[in-house]
Amino acid sequence: MRFLATQAIQVSLRAAVAAGLAYWVARLLHADYAIYALVGAIIVTDLSPAMTRRLGWQRMAGTLIGAFAGAVLLHVLPIGPIALGVAILASMLLTYLLRLEPSAARVAGYVAAIVMLAYRADPWHYAFARAWETLLGIGAAQLVGLVPLWLREREGEPAPETKRPRVKRGRE
């Protein structure tokens, strides 16, 4: 029995490289919140470049919607539980109205809440910084996704998630 499947090794390595690259570039560019470049890279990394693009698009859209909604509503509503609920509701509903995926809605909701709770002194600065740093992380994941896969499952061997465990019967 293999401890780690080649897919697990490759996606973990790709995420680690993309995150490190994104964080390094963000630090070189004096990013205020370089950690969001790192987080963005990890969350969107996949073995399939097409899936990485799809996840990246959803993540970016959710980030932009949430940051915008949180910053706008911060100027309209007094901060408190009701304002947070309205910001989360509005940003998540907007993603669904735009026919985005649930992952984008979740990102939009929590980014809107973060803007309202933690960055009320300068929400537009945070919204802009969060957007470009997330984009940097997504870009790093896309770049790493261009590297071809180097490990393949052995021919004739099913992928780990389809392999069935051997059942002992009687005496063996």
67-81 pLDDT tens trace: 999 999 998 998 899
Q: Are 47 and 149 in contact (CB under 8 A)?
A: yes
- Give me the mean pLDDT over the 48-57 stretch: 93
Burial 83-118 (b: 16+ CB within 10 A, else e): bbebbbebbbebbeeeebbebbbbbbbbbbbbbbee
**pTM: predicted TM-score of the whole model, two decimal places:** 0.78
Residue of higher predicted confidence among 112 and 5: 112
Whether residue 11 contacts residue 46, with contact meaning beta carbons closer than 8 Å, is answered with yes
Q: Is the pLDDT of residue 3 over 60?
A: no
